[in-house]
Each structure stands twice: as structure tokens, then as C-alpha cells.
Structure 1
Amino acid sequence: MEITQSNSVDIAIIGGGVAGCTAAIALSNSYNVALIDKLSEPVERVGECLAPAARRIFKQLGLLDEFEKKINEIHQRNNGMQSYWGSKNVQIVDPLRNPDGFGWQLNRKEFESFLRKKAVERSPNCFWSYQLFQCKFENEHWVLTFASTNEISKKKVIRAKFVIDASGRQSHFAKKIGVERQSVDKLISIWATLTNEEISTLSTISASQSGWWYTAPLPNKKRIMAFQTDSDLIEHAQLKTKEAFINLALCNEQMKTILEKSKNSIQFNGIVAANSTQLKQVTGQQWAALGDAAISFDPLSSQGMFNAMANALQLTDLLTEHQIIFQPNSEKTNQFQREYSEQVNQIWKHYLHHKRIFYSQELRWSNSEFWKRRR
């Protein structure tokens, strides 16, 4: 027998990651919000750098003091980066002149758990282990059916006046209603974690012939190491095992130095998409896409999490300003859609411009397919 539970809310947010939780926390002061995610709890993810400007967002959400107390548990200070980009000589990039101060290196899993906890405190309608199964628009509401990922026969139906797709690059809701996604490149990230034995607290970025390496210290004496390349430029065997990853890393001088101290502690985490992608339509009939579901960034930018959080506050402000949840009409809705689309599009254009500038600075491998594609 199928067990079905129903809820009616103002806003349903699909995706309980950084974007979705930030939106739920921000919107719950004014709306009845439901937050739904397919995972029972956050998992380890690549992507740990949070920009200093996020301090303003934490303050606006009323979370700054509590977050800053979580030092070593969730975060440690980002002291800057040593860059081997465009030259074999190192350049130091530090945040000393940044008006927002220092950023953070995060334990990503613990950070997302922190945001989930704050979302639950603000909204009673948080549902984990439910995956979007079906959606339809009827009687000025979205009717969303979610299937439990734990119990085969269990479903949840949520009626919402507005839907926010915060489901990451998969953009599950947008895909269900037929919105396409376009990719700029084929970038992937092959990543691992290991014990941090380095005295230096700086992150390191190092370009190579077929891509670029990144490594950074994390809380609790951990370290992330990742290689970024295009999916069609690397042997598939080099994507599958810890041994293959280590052999690849040993070809890079900076990574080799680190691995010589920590090779035995490495945990290979596999491959994730890291390409620049854009949803062809980021808002429509009583819905909007948020964070990576709307636009996803190359990790070179170090802006993915910050954009997700900032985007959530922008969307919150527009929904509050135009009041299309409680007072829907075509004029207000059209204005909201124009403004939100333009905001996201401007961020996308700005990002692509700076992405081209950064990649064009590396000229050492003029015949490499990876670098030619980016010039």
C-alpha cells in the first residue's frame, strides 16, 4: 500500500545544499517554506573556499557570530594562495587588502550540516531523503510529488505557490519541466583528500600541460587535492583509482612535494563535473532556479558557494519587493522575471569575462588542446 503525505506551503525549495539552505533561512521570516533534499545528510564534496564577502551574508542572516565560533570544526582562515600560473615562478596572492578581511577554508560536509541545522530551526518543513518524482501546475499552484529514497512505497506531495530549484547542476525541477542546460566546456575535477603535513597554510594552484592542480589545507589537519582537465583529454584509467591519481599528481612538482609526505593517507574521491554551465531559462511560471541550478562556475573562480549564497539573498529581496507570492498578477510577475533573469545574466557575463582573462594568462603550452580551447 502506498503511503502519501501532503503539505501546502508558500515556497518549496528543491535542494538542501548551500543555495537551498541559505534561501530557506532568508525566506522563512516572511513565508511558509518547505525545504526538500534527496540526501538524508550532507556528503563530502569538492569545493571548500568561501570568499570574504560571505561575511556580509552571514551577518544579514544572523549567523555570523555562531559561524565564526566554529573554527577548526567547520572552517579555518584562508591565508591566501601561492600560484604557479603563467610562470614557473611562484606568485603570492593574499587577502590583506580585501575590505571584508580573510575568507575561509571549509569542511564542506560540516558547513552544509550547519546550514541544514539553521534551516530546520527557522522552518519546520524540512524533508530529507525525498527525490522529485513528478511536478505539474494546476489551480495557480505547483503540485510536487516526491518519492522517498529510503522507503519504496512512501511519497510526499507538496502544493506550493512558488518553486525554487536549488538542486545543483542537475537542476532536477527545471529538467522536469523541459528547460535545457548549455555547457561552455567539458571541465571535470578529479579529487582526493589526505592528511595535511605542510607547515605552510597557503593554498596552491599549479598549471600543467593538460589542465591545472589545486590543493588547500582544511580544518582538522586535512587537505584537498584536485586536478582539473577536460573529460575527453585524459585516459579513462586515470580517472578510476587512487594509484592512477597518485601517479598523475607525481608528475606535478608542487603536488609531488606534498604527496611525498602524505601519500599513505590519501582518500580518492573520484570525479565530479566542474564545467561552466547555464540554464537557458532561470525563471518562469512561479518558479526560479538558484545557485548552481541556474549557473555553475569553473572552480578556478572560487566563487561557487559565495554566488549560491548571494544569489539566494537576491532572489529573496526580489520576491519580497514584488510580492508575487501573496499578490500574484501578470505585471508583477513579468517584472520579477525580467529583473531576476537580468541579475543572473549579468553575473554570468561578468564571470565569463574574468574566466577568459585568467585562462589567457597561461601561455606556456601553446599547442596543448586544453589551453587552446580556453584562448
Structure 2
Amino acid sequence: MVDASGRGAALARQLGLARQRDTRLVCLYAHLRAAPDDEDRCTRLCAEAGGWWYTVRVPSRHRVLAFHLDRDDPDLRHLGTAAQLVARARRQPLIAAALGEGADTAAPVRCCPAGSAALDLDGLAQRAPGVFAIGDALLAFDPLSSQGLFHALASAESAARAIEAQFAGAPQAREAYVAEMRSVSARYQAHLAAAYASVRRYADQPFWARRVSRAGASVAWR
């Protein structure tokens, strides 16, 4: 059986398995109607004192505008509408240039958890030896890593190979899969810590200082 239920990790929860999470990081996002002359296909990423932004135009002729910040940031309550989110985004020249002059301010703003999360694989092995987990159900990545989709596909392929090997009579295949995912987690934590630490001009701001001080320790398999 494979848990491929995403961040909700439905099967793992039903089995009572522990899941370590960074509950601070959230993402506010809106799908704005793109301006008729918006032909910018680049993904623009920008840091600010309270978090980080990205925007990209998608094929549906909408522009995604997203801001990642901490759940306990007092500014969160003042960013509940597209008009407020766009106004804040315009403080960043790189993002403002992509929004243009007549940015859509009628789109709904949504909020979702965005922090790292990891399933306790030791618990998985002990409670349900025939169960695999892949993608976000196994390890949910901070969006700054830009590795979530790749991880989902790569972990699914690795799990499929391990399951096939087990059916072929290789009982250690699942252990090898777990070891591979531990290695993935370690590399991810190191790269994420380096990415956050690279933003030095805001190193004294709470959002960035928290992530540097917790580098590599926020979510880890035991």
C-alpha cells in the first residue's frame, strides 16, 4: 500500500504515525487576471524583510502572486485581499515590474501551510511494514527549494522499483528505499539552510533569523 495523499498524509494519520512539521511558514497567494500585454514568462523570486515573494504567468492567462511569511507575523491579517497583497508586492521593484500598472485586485487570496514536513519512517517500518509513502506524504518541501514536484516523481519511481523488487523476492528493498529517502532529506535540509542563509541583508529580521538559527534542525527523521 502506498500513501500518496500529499501533505495530508491520510494513511499515515490513520496509522497513528508521527509527522514532524514546520508550522510557521504559510503562503498567501492569488491568481490574478494577467494584463493583455503580459508576456513575461519568467518566474520572479524576491526576498523582503518579512518573507519572500514569487510571481509567474501561467498558461491560463493568470499571474500567480505568492507571498511566504510566518503564521505569527502581525502583517498577515492585513493581507487578506488581492488589493492589499498587490500593494505590498509593489514595494519590490522586481515583482512590481511584472504586475504592471493595472493589476487585478478582485481575485480571492488564499492561505495554505508551506513549511517542511517529514513522516517518521522508523514508525512506518515498525507499525506497517507493507506501507510506502511518497511525495509530500513522505517529505513535504519548503517551496523555496523548488524541488517538490521533482521529489514527488522521483520518490514515486523509487518506491515503485522497491515494490517490484519485493515482489521479486528482495526483502531488503524497502529498507533500501527508506535509506534513500533519509539521504534525500539530509540533502534537502542542507540546501534549504544554505538558501535561507544566503539572504544576508535581512539576517537580523525574525523571519530570516529563525531559519538560519534552526538550519537543518526544523524537520528531520529520527
TM-score normalised over the length of structure 2: 0.84
Q: Does 1:242 align with 2:86?
A: no
Cα distance in structure 1, aligned partners of 2:186 and 2:200: 24
Q: 2:57 is matched with which residue?
A: 217
| Structure 2 residues not aligned, in runs of 5+ | 213-222
Q: 2:219 is matched with which residue?
A: none
Larger radius of gyration: 1
Q: Does 1:357 align with 2:194?
A: yes
Equivalent pair of 2:80/2:109 in contact (CA under 8 Å): no
Equivalent pair of 1:194/1:262 in contact (CA under 8 Å): no
Q: 2:117 is matched with which residue?
A: 277
Q: 1:311 is matched with which residue?
A: 155
Give runs of aligned pairs for residues 39-188 of structure 1, distance below 5 A: 163-184=1-22, 186-188=24-26
Q: What is the deviation of 1:322?
A: 1.9
Per the alignment, in what secondary structure is the counterpart of residue 191 of structure 1? strand
Q: What is the deviation of 1:239?
A: 4.5
Q: 2:216 is matched with which residue?
A: none
| Structure 1 residues 180 and 239, CA gap change in structure 2 (3 angstroms) | farther
| Structure 1 residues 361 and 246, CA gap change in structure 2 (3 angstroms) | same
Per-residue deviation, residues 141-170 of structure 1 (Å, max 9, x unmatched): xxxxxxxxxxxxxxxxxxxxxx21111111
Q: 2:71 is matched with which residue?
A: 231
Q: What is the deviation of 1:356?
A: 1.1
Q: Which has the higher contact order (CA 8 A, sep 6+)?
A: 2
| Structure 1 residues not aligned, in runs of 5+ | 1-162
Give runs of aligned pairs for residues 336-375 of structure 1, distance below 5 A: 336-375=173-212
Equivalent pair of 1:238/1:248 in contact (CA under 8 Å): no
Per the alignment, in what secondary structure is the counterpart of residue 267 of structure 1? coil
Q: What is the deviation of 1:187?
A: 1.2
Amino acid at match of 1:339: A
Per the alignment, in what secondary structure is the counterpart of residue 108 of structure 2? strand
Q: What is the deviation of 1:244?
A: 2.8
Out of 14, 20, 28, which is 1:190 matched to? 28
Cα distance in structure 2, aligned partners of 1:182 and 1:164: 19
Per the alignment, in what secondary structure is the counterpart of residue 240 of structure 1? coil
Amino acid at match of 2:130: Q
Q: 2:92 is matched with which residue?
A: 252
| Structure 1 residues 239 and 178, CA gap change in structure 2 (3 angstroms) | farther
**CA RMSD between the two structures:** 2.1
Q: What is the deviation of 1:291?
A: 0.4
Per the alignment, in what secondary structure is the counterpart of residue 341 of structure 1? helix
Amino acid at match of 2:12: A
Cα distance in structure 1, aligned partners of 2:40 and 2:100: 15
Equivalent pair of 1:214/1:226 in contact (CA under 8 Å): yes
| Structure 1 residues 262 and 339, CA gap change in structure 2 (3 angstroms) | farther
Cα distance in structure 2, aligned partners of 1:180 and 1:339: 21
How many residue pairs align between the two structures? 206
Amino acid at match of 1:181: R
Moved more, 210-219 or 239-248: 239-248
Q: What is the deviation of 1:240?
A: 2.9
Per the alignment, in what secondary structure is the counterpart of residue 261 of structure 1? coil
Equivalent pair of 1:193/1:266 in contact (CA under 8 Å): no
Per-residue deviation, residues 91-141 of structure 1 (Å, max 9, x unmatched): xxxxxxxxxxxxxxxxxxxxxxxxxxxxxxxxxxxxxxxxxxxxxxxxxxx
Q: 1:296 is matched with which residue?
A: 140
Cα distance in structure 1, aligned partners of 2:79 and 2:21: 21
Of all paired residues, the percent bearing the same amino acid is 28
Q: What is the deviation of 1:230?
A: 1.3
Amino acid at match of 1:191: Y
Amino acid at match of 1:254: L
Equivalent pair of 1:189/1:226 in contact (CA under 8 Å): yes
Q: What is the deviation of 1:245?
A: 1.9
Cα distance in structure 2, aligned partners of 1:169 and 1:185: 12
| Structure 1 residues 236 and 222, CA gap change in structure 2 (3 angstroms) | closer
Equivalent pair of 1:297/1:303 in contact (CA under 8 Å): yes
Q: Does 1:205 align with 2:45?
A: yes
Would you tell me which structure has more strand in proportion to its own residues? Answer: 1
Cα distance in structure 2, aligned partners of 1:364 and 1:195: 33
Would you tell me which structure has more helix in proportion to its own residues? Answer: 2
